Amino acid sequence: MTDPDVNYKRNPYPRGLRNNKWLKGIGKADSLGRVDFITLLRDVNQTSDPYPELSMFDSMCRRFIAIAICLFAATTSVAAAEKRPNVVFFLLDDLGWTDLGCYGSEFYETPNIDQLAKESVRFTQAYATCHVCSPTRASIMTGKYPARLHLTDWLTGRRNYPFQQLLNAEIHQQLPLEEITIAEALKSHGYSTAHIGKWHLGEEPHGPTAQGFDIQIPKWNKGWPKVGYYAPFQLDGLKDGPGDYLTDRLTDEALNFIESNQEQPFFLYMSHYAVHDPIHGRPDLVEKYEQKLARQKPKPDPAFILESNPDDLLPLSRQELNELGSTPEFAGFKILPRRTVKIKQHQDNVHFAAMVESVDQSLERIRQKLEALGIDDNTIIILFSDNGGMSAGNFGNPNRVVSPAALDKAFATSNLPLRGAKGFLYEGGIREPMIVHWPGRGKSGSVCRVPVVSTDFYPTILEMVGVDVMPDQHKDGVSLTGLIQGDKHLSRDAIYWHFPHYSNHGMQSPGGAIRVGDYKLLDYFENGSVQLFNLKKDIAEQKDLSEKHPQLASQLKAKLDAWRVEVNANMMKPNPQYDPNAPIKR
């Protein structure tokens, strides 16, 4: 008879358990990792023993090991079944509503984001709470409107000038530490948290690691790259080498975090600096788009149009603006007479196109890593932008003059068919691309046309990962889980905006806005002008209905005023240095 222990090292189980059918069945589990333990134990008792001389001892061994394995497997399978989903929040900076292929761009190529949209829910009326970055980012972190937080402008904010009738409202220079951020909420439920990229919600000691993030890369809290997108970056905590590109290096760090935390739930706040200026495209992609642009036929319509201040005592009509745009007095790229500026109309900036494609590649690399680790089906991905595209130049320095040779450095993209740009309360400044990927739960490949806003992310994420919502914290957010799963309605009466500041990207009066249903009212602070648009019929906001429907305009204005009181919004004060004749020196 062959010694049964000859092959012990290859088969270390007790002799009576070798090759038993129940042992071979261990590991056969359903998709949630659950094993049919009753059947497995029954098999132990029914299995015949090839070595009856050891039957009593063997029977005890079989039962003992079976019970131990069952207990271990039960614990492991329950833990696997209860592992909360990971969350990747893929936030882009200054990406306009039509800067992606799935939102209509014909010049920028974003095949990977387009593919994500096909597998997810794509929102067509998603809004940032502000047309500049810091307030929107604060709303994502807290679930509160910027007006409630008293953080209504980019940090540190624009200075006052004598030609301003009003003083910019005071703001917090950081996100208050007493706020419970979404990172802190998730961390309290066992999440590992990482902030990679742009913060712009306060300098130390108010940085990401004080607001719930385990790690921050790089150690740079401002809202733009320190020196640009080309190495050397001069960013503490982010190594670089010759030829490195910032978007790619940040993605490298994101992949490292994902791999290091694959065994536990994680929250990755992938907050790219791109596509914020400086407009630095990756050289290989710039070459690609130079060739693509050279193959295109010139567009017959103007490359730029004029935009004015609708709150002026004698506002200019669209026809008047079009006529003035061809006159010598309104030539050039600077702050022009009658408080006008120029707005870019074409998507043809090759460096910007390269930046857009680089973030598209970043998303694909993250998805590939999730798939390689086998955790893609348990990872939620949210894509969003913090404000509209930079179709208007930055004239925070009102003496700036942009030379024709430098237009691609000052004007990034076109937001058409939307009006306006970053820095405007028109749709071009606040309507954003938004995609939510919820594997196995979201309605894949669908489009949601219900208006939503960035305060909604907080309660939505909490519900998606299966933890209790925190209504005292995310006071201004509404969970979107129903919409993501196919609902057509959301319980909300209005969305609000409050910007008591002068913008760097236009010469419009400060103001606010409210959207109720299809109607949107803009309310300006200098002279009390209002504009009313039906966005369903007039997405370009060209037909002001405030005189045609004065009662509706009055009702919306009253509702907006009452909301400002409710959230204790900071308002503007008269500028004691105001001089209506103050020249803008050049």
Look at residue 70 in the predicted model and tell me its pLDDT.
Answer: 42
Tell me whether residue 368 is in a domain.
yes
Quick: pLDDT tens for 254-265.
Answer: 999 999 999 999
Tell me whether residue 468 is in a domain.
yes
Look at residue 581 in the predicted model and tell me its pLDDT.
Answer: 85
Look at residue 172 in the predicted model and tell me its pLDDT.
Answer: 98
Domain co-membership, 398 together with 460: yes
Number of domains comprising the chain:
2
Tell me whether residue 565 is in a domain.
no
SS3 195: strand
Domain co-membership, 78 together with 92: no
**Comparing C-alpha atoms, which of 388, 394, 384, 392 is closest to residue 429?**
388
Helices 133-142 & 457-465, crossing angle to 10 degrees?
30
Domain co-membership, 75 together with 98: no
Look at residue 582 in the predicted model and tell me its pLDDT.
Answer: 81
Tell me whether residue 412 is in a domain.
yes
- The ranges of the chain with pLDDT < 70 are 1-82, 583-586
Tell me whether residue 522 is in a domain.
no
Look at residue 584 in the predicted model and tell me its pLDDT.
Answer: 66
Look at residue 66 in the predicted model and tell me its pLDDT.
Answer: 45
**Comparing C-alpha atoms, which of 83, 171, 160 is closest to residue 576?**
160
According to the 3-state scheme, what is the secondary structure of 2-58?
CCCCCCCCCCCCCHHHCCCHHHHHCCCCCCCCCCCHHHHHHHHHHCCCCCHHHHHHH
Quick: pLDDT tens for 120-152.
Answer: 999 999 999 999 999 999 999 999 999 999 999
Pairing of strands 495-499, 511-516: antiparallel
Sheet holding 495-499, edge to edge: 495-499, 511-516, 519-524, 530-534
Residue range of the domain that includes 162: 88-488
Quick: pLDDT tens for 519-573.
Answer: 999 999 999 999 999 999 999 999 999 999 999 999 999 999 999 999 999 999 9
Tell me whether residue 547 is in a domain.
no
Domain co-membership, 315 together with 347: yes
